[in-house]
Amino acid sequence: MSTNPPSLRVSELAYAYPDGTQALFGVDLTIERGERVALLGPNGAGKTTLVMHLNGILTGGHGSVEVAGLPVRKNTLGEIRRRVGLVFQDPDDQLFMPTVREDVAFGPANLGVRGPELELRVREALDRVGLPDVIDRPPHHLSFGQRRRVAVATVLAMRPEILVLDEPSSNLDPASRRELAEILRSLDVTVLMVTHDLPYALELCERSLILSGGVIAADAPTRDILADPDLLAAHRLELPYGFAVAERSH
């Protein structure tokens, strides 16, 4: 058994917005190093609020969040944001430099990485997403699927502890969806994937959590969750028409 602390530990996390809306009511979850976990749930369940606590965009609620043993606090935010790589749903929220090289270099350069080490990080990250040849191109000249992969590279260049992906398969054509899945499977990094795409969760994540009404309503192997129609219906989750999941035989 590894002695390393888990990649993510959330304990009794509760949060209310300034207008009084209570978004989280006591979330407990642990994700071990190297796990790939899907976070499922209906709109308004608190998924975005939870994700914004993981890198300190939101703080001050009740409870605690630790990333690889480091508590998320005001005085740790610099290191926490290096460890938690957020990949937004819209890559254009993440890509804003004139070239792909500058976009991928932006995070590590901010950490003080320079010279050959910075170039190595950029090339390594683009290799990992299968796009070494676009390094000098403007991001807006790339396809949507390529831009999403470059957005992943911008985060990998920071060498994060955990990669948090918001709806990674949304708006991708089938080929781009498959390419991204192959990349995510090949990464030796912990992954938390927020998604409504239940087949994608099954393809990529052994384990899934359902966040519903601000609490973790289920935590089980993805196949078991998707094979339980009553559980899915109770939390407004639906498989695509004709997509059937057999429960694992015990």
Laid out side by side, the sheet with 215-221 consists of 84-87, 162-166, 190-194, 36-40, 207-212, 215-221
CA-CA distance, 188 to 7, in Å (whole number)?
12
Does residue 241 lie within any of the structural domains?
no
Coil, strand or helix: which one is 66? strand
**Among the listed residues 31, 60, 25, the one whose alpha carbon sits nearest the alpha carbon of residue 46:** 25
The tokens of 81 are what? 């944001």
The helix (H) or strand (E) run that includes residue 15 is strand 8-16
Segments forming the whole domain that contains residue 213: 8-94+160-234
pLDDT digits over 196-231, tens only? 999 999 999 999 999 998 999 999 999 999 999 999
Phi, psi of 160 (to 5 degrees): -75, 165
CA–CA separation, 225 and 202 (whole Å): 10
Decide if 89 is inside a domain: yes
Query: Which pLDDT value is given to residue 247?
Result: 65
Query: Is position 142 within any domain?
Result: no
Provide the residue type at 171 as one letter.
N
In a domain, 164, yes or no: yes
- 227 touches 197 (CB < 8 A): no
Q: Is the pLDDT of residue 146 over 80?
A: yes
Q: Tell me, what's the pLDDT at 43?
A: 84
Q: How confident is the model at residue 100 (pLDDT cuts 50, 70, 90)?
A: very high
Q: Tell me the backbone φ, ψ of residue 108, rounded to 5 degrees.
A: -60, -35
Q: Given this model, what pLDDT does residue 143 score?
A: 95
The pLDDT value recorded for residue 1 is: 47
Task: Judge whether 190 lies within some domain.
Answer: yes
Contact predicate 64/58, CB 8 Å: no
Mention every residue, 6+ apart, whose C-beta is less than 8 A from residue 147. 91, 92, 95, 139
CATH of the domain at 223: 3.40.50.300
- CB contact at 8 A, 154 and 106: yes
In a domain, 108, yes or no: no
Could you give the count of Cα atoms lying within 13 Å of 221 in the half-sphere of its Cβ?
A: 9
pLDDT at 171 over 90: yes
Give the tens place of pLDDT for each residue, 43-52. Answer: 888 898 999 9
7-205-58-161 Cα dihedral, nearest 10 degrees: 30
- Does 151 fall in a domain? no
Domains: count for the chain = 1
| 245 backbone φψ class: left, alpha, beta (φ>0; ψ -120 to 50) | beta
Tell me if 243 is assigned to some domain.
no
Confidence of residue 187 (pLDDT cuts 50, 70, 90): very high
